[in-house]
Amino acid sequence: MGQFEEFADLEAKTAKEVLEWALKTYGDRVALASSFGAEDVVLIDMLARVDRRSRVFTLDTGRLPQETCDVMEKIRDKYGLKIEIYYPDTEAVEDMVAKYGPNLFYKNVELRKLCCEIRKVEPLKRALKELSAWITGLRREQSVTRTEVKKSSIHKSINQSLKHA
């Protein structure tokens, strides 16, 4: 069976079955990208039940609320998972904030994109560099733009990695 046929088969699988398949297929080259929202915490619980050595990473943009940090610590304590944290380049953030201010993303779309590129996209690229696949907590019912999201897809814009939602 080819890789893309396997992906089609995943549509009928439960979330737990997809996680088991991803861990079996990719081993330590798959990780969950977590923002520690409700969906991600459910996935972390499922992952930890399948294999406590599962990889979890997050992006710390430098603007995380304290509640997110608290949840992260509770997850570490409960499951004993090592959470890989990726930060934006300090110099790039300092230059951006010096030039446009700390709340630049409220000013216009171009500055919002710049902020996201520096604080989120660049660290995500570094996180995905060593992975063959990544897992996200996307749900089809979250928004109209996600109604057609597949359980498994190739994410062409970031490192040609496989994305399991």
Domain count, the chain: 1
pLDDT score at 145: 45
More confident residue, 152 or 89: 89
Burial profile 22-54: b = 16 or more Cβ within 10 angstroms, e = fewer? bbeebeeebbbbbebeebbbebbebbbeeeeeb
**CATH code for the domain in which residue 145 is found:** 3.40.50.620
pLDDT score at 18: 86
pLDDT score at 156: 52
Model pTM score: 0.82
**What's the order of all strands across the beta sheet hosting 83-86?**
83-86, 55-59, 30-33, 133-135, 161-164, 152-155
First to last CA, the chain: 21
- DSSP conformational letter for 117: I
Is residue 22 a contact partner of residue 50, using CB atoms and an 8 Å limit?
no
pLDDT score at 133: 87
Q: Give the residue numbers spanning the domain of 15.
A: 4-163
**Span 21-40, pLDDT tens digits:** 889 999 999 999 999 999 89
